[in-house]
Chains A and B, each alone.
Chain A
Amino acid sequence: MLLSQFGSSLDMPTWRIILPVGISFYTFQSLSYSIDVYRGKLSATKDVVAFCTYIAFFPQLVAGPIERATNLLPQMLGGRRFDYSEAVDGLRRILWGFFKKLVIADNCALAVNQIWGDYSDANAATLIVGMVLFTFQIYGDFSGYSDIAIGTAKLFGIRLMENFRLPYFSRSIGEFWRRWHISLMTWFRDYLYIPLGGSRAGTLRTIRNVFIVFLLSGLWHGANWTFVTWGAYNAMLIVLGRWLWKSQTKNDERVGWKDLWAVGLTFMLVVFGWVVFRANSVSEAVDYLSCLIGSVTSANFGMPIYGKMTVIYCLLLVVIEWLQRDRLCPLQLDGCWLGRYRWSRWLVYYLVFMLTFFGRGEEQTFIYFQF
């Protein structure tokens, strides 16, 4: 688009290949096994059934979490016993996962598709809502799937790794990537970033390593320049973040009210990143952002046309997750006043169940099924 202003154009090559569902996930799981065996972290298994179950374990087969052989394979080989509290916890995770997918992601998808389908004449508020709702859509969709997968695995006595830890409450982009799609990012860290030298080989090599990891993680999502650009954008933010804020926040530090400005700033940066991820092409993303800038500069604000009810659902999600931010799943009520009595716990479960059923949006396939 920029080059066209100067009477030139750049035709970037794209690939159109039909791939089986979830190939990126089980390919990485197979790689993890092979590398761990090669490194001597794990002995090669002779149990074909256990190995195949590890690769094709149905709850997480198509959209993760990308499990490590060191975590999952021993569980497949060992005996399993039914654990009541684990199974109950699994059901809670499944219920919360369905809420995130059906209420948050599916309702957001409806509004986002409408806004992205006709954004050229939309006002600033509508365009901002389109960006923010996609941010919630992808979170609800992907983390919802992970919750359902983790919960289902728990019913079988299998513990999968956590894939999300409230990523939108991160105080920096670095922290965001330690909380978002954890299984993929730790995979890249262990099998790519660290072997390349990590952050211990000088500033330039660290920057190079960060870019390699994020460009590849972008490409992992698909052969589209939007994903590569999105990866580069995140790498740039990570590098800038390291340079501007030397001291990094740790994962285990509790997010508090004093961190809200950092959380807000990080959230905004993430929202802009998702614009490139959502767009069908880089030029569409640039076009969307140009429309936004145009609307803001011409003071075309107004009220958002779509998604008002969905914004309320998203706010509800934020409030619940904020209040329950010390727990892996907001429906874990132990230790809080609502969890004191069985009737109060069940009342909460019923409310979430009914809200999920009656507040669900139009059926949408999981976004990460395409990866």
Chain B
Amino acid sequence: MKKFLLRILLFLIPAISILVGAECYMRSIPNSYQLKDDWMQRNGYAVSTLLLGNSHGYFALSPSVMGDSVFNLCNVSQRLEQDYFLLRHYVDKYKALKRIILVADNSNLFDTPMEDDEPARVTYYQLYMGYRAHSMLSQYGFELADMSYVWKKVNFYWKGESIMCDSLGWGNNYVVDNRNADDFLYENVRQHHFASWEDTHRNRDNMNAIAAWCQQHHVELILLQTPVCEDYTRKADVWQLQLVNAMVDSCCTQYGARKYDYSCDSRFRDTDFFDSDHLSDQGARKFSAILAHDLQILQR
């Protein structure tokens, strides 16, 4: 038995060393989560407008176009739960925060928890942004827990594209020339389905919690719906869109937030989109300028 245990130990030591080495390598790869956290830790005191939300905001809002001291803290598949967490996480940093722009639309208000769909992203929040919803010894504490994301990340890193956003957090890799024409075919247009009332209520509660936080801290809150292509709106469930508007309107009434809905804005053409519900780099610059202009009017 002693010999057996000793040999197992001898076998496991190099194996564990390789795995630890691989985990360290994965964590050394620069990524948008780490970049955003570093930026907030260093410059959070100067930020006056903070952008929160999912990929709709991540790819659509370019802080450099929107003006000084704006930072994009959105990320792909970011749920309202993570938005609320991030808002509170950097609370000690805010010295100049005046406005929060939060994406609230028919994607993130109906999202299922991130743990269900994209557990690897929970790991990124845990490792790089101080999110502690799960034990660091659980599957959410290790990048190697999800191999499909590991290979994707390594692949992007070797191509020199691991960060995928500019220094102010804008997802600038949805370049119009690289888009897939098939994504615009009506049958391929993405649909965000209603998952459950439980998920919807949880998302609504997180949105309301963010609004309550803003009210309490005298920070202006803008609830934003980014431009989407015509077929996306045509294909979306009307009942779902009505529900989104009802939830957003209720939040505005209750907490004094403002609603900015660009989902049916006719100024955006097909060439402004990367796919049915995401703006391309070109469209994002255009939208950021429009939004900045509209916000200036509001300020006056």
Contacts and interface: CB of A to CB of B under 8 A. Distances in A.
Dominant secondary structure at the B interface? helix
Contacts of A358: 22, 147, 150
Nearest to B147: A360
B14 interface: yes
A362 B1 contact: no
A23 B138 CA distance: 31
Interface string B2-24: 01100110010011001100100
Interface in B130-151: 144, 146-148, 150
Given A349-B11, A350-B14, A88 B147 contact: no
Contacts, number: 27
A84 interface: yes
A354 B147 contact: no
Interface in A288-318: none
Interface residues of B, number: 16
Given A346-B11, A358-B147, A362-B148, A87 B4 contact: yes
A349 B1 CA distance: 20
A368 interface: no
A354 B18 contact: yes
Contacts of B14: 350
Interface string A171-185: 000000000000000
Q: Among A82, A350, A358, find the residue whose CB has the most chain B CB atoms closer than 10 A.
A: A358
A353 B15 contact: yes
Nearest to B22: A358
A346 B147 CA distance: 24
Nearest to B119: A363
A357 interface: yes
B147 A84 contact: no
A84 B19 CA distance: 27
B146 to A, nearest CB: 8
Contact of B4 (A88, A354, A359): A88
Given A358-B147, A362-B148, A350 B15 contact: yes
Contacts of A88: 4, 7
B11 A84 contact: no
B189 to A, nearest CB: 16
Nearest to B18: A354
Contacts of B18: 354
Contacts of A91: 8
Interface in B10-49: 11, 14-15, 18-19, 22
B4 A84 contact: yes
A343 to B, nearest CB: 12
Interface string B140-173: 0000101110100000000000000000000000
A87 B7 CA distance: 12
A360 B8 CA distance: 22
Nearest to A346: B11
Nearest to A349: B11
Contacts of B8: 91
A78 to B, nearest CB: 19
Contacts of A360: 147
A123 to B, nearest CB: 16
Given A358-B147, A360-B147, A362-B148, A84 B15 contact: no
Contacts of A359: 147
Interface string A79-94: 0001010011001000
A360 B4 CA distance: 27
A346 B10 CA distance: 11
A87 B6 CA distance: 13
Interface string A188-217: 000000000000000000000000000000
Contacts of A362: 146, 148
Contact of A357 (B1, B4, B11, B19): B19
A359 B144 CA distance: 11
A363 to B, nearest CB: 9
Q: Among A82, A353, A361, find the residue whose CB has the most chain B CB atoms closer than 10 A.
A: A353
B115 to A, nearest CB: 13
A346 B8 CA distance: 11
Nearest to B145: A363
A218 B4 CA distance: 43
A99 B17 CA distance: 20
Contacts of B146: 362
Nearest to B5: A87
Question: Considering the complex of A and B, which 9 residue pairs feature the smallest CB-CB distances, nearest first?
Answer: A82-B1, A87-B4, A360-B147, A84-B4, A353-B15, A362-B148, A84-B3, A358-B147, A346-B11
8 contacts: A84-B3, A87-B4, A88-B4, A88-B7, A353-B15, A360-B147, A361-B147, A361-B148
